[in-house]
């Protein structure tokens, strides 16, 4: 996991603990005050939401406790594609794309962040600027030339 990914998870955990958990506890208390809990839709919804929040808190705590956080700034800058770096690629159609290689929890294609386990990242790991990587896609193989590797 990158440093930014770990920070995002810690921020979410803090928000869930300090904002969402107290809000849902208050909603459950208000729903209980209304009387019969068996037919109280607000109570049922609040309990379901509480289960979701508590489950997410547990999930984040486990992820953070098991995570190996890698700071790209402290890694040897060998010019090779490694976890956490940002790679600019040029494919045969002269389209240029740029991706940061991150962990599964951080992957977001809209933000140009791809999982280390994605086919593109697996084809790029260990390659250097100027190398050509072949990626197998459902539509066949696509070749990308690595135009730059940046450690940000």
Q: pLDDT 10s per residue in the chain (152 long)?
A: 888 889 999 999 999 999 999 999 998 888 888 777 677 788 888 899 999 999 999 999 999 999 888 887 777 667 788 888 999 999 876 688 999 999 888 899 999 999 999 999 999 999 998 889 888 888 888 888 999 898 87
Q: What angle do CA 134, 140, 145 make, to 5 degrees?
A: 25
pLDDT of residue 125: 92
User: Are 134 and 141 contacting, i.e. CB atoms less than 8 angstroms apart?
Assistant: yes
Distances (CA, A) of 108 to 40, 61, 65, 68, 73: 39, 21, 22, 19, 21
Q: Identify the CA nearest to 28 among candidates 15, 44, 39.
A: 44
* Residue 122 burial (10 A CB sphere; 0-12, 13-18, 19+): middle
pLDDT of residue 76: 65
pTM of the model: 0.77
Distances (CA, A) of 115 to 14, 23, 40, 48, 69: 25, 34, 43, 31, 15
Q: Give the C-alpha separation, 82 to 131, whole Å.
A: 14
Which structural domains are found in the chain, ordered by start? Answer: 3-66 (1.10.287.180), 72-150 (3.10.50.30)
**For the chain, how far is it from start to end, CA to CA, in angstroms?**
14
pLDDT of residue 21: 95
């Amino acid at each position: 996991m990158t440093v930014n990914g770990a920070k995002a998870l810690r921020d979410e955990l803090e928000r869930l603990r300090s904002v969402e958990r107290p809000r849902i506890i208050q909603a459950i208390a208000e729903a209980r005050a209304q009387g019969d809990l068996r037919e109280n839709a607000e109570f049922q919804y609040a309990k379901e939401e509480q289960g979701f929040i508590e489950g997410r808190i547990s999930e984040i705590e486990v992820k953070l406790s098991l995570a190996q956080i890698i700071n790209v700034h402290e890694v040897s800058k060998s010019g090779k594609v490694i976890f956490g770096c940002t790679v600019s690629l040029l494919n045969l159609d002269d389209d240029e794309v740029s991706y940061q290689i991150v962990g599964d929890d951080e992957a977001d294609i809209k933000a140009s962040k791809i999982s280390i386990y994605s086919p593109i990242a697996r084809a790029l790991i260990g390659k250097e600027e100027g190398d050509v990587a072949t990626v197998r896609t459902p539509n066949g193989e696509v070749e990308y030339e690595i135009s730059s590797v940046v450690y940000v």
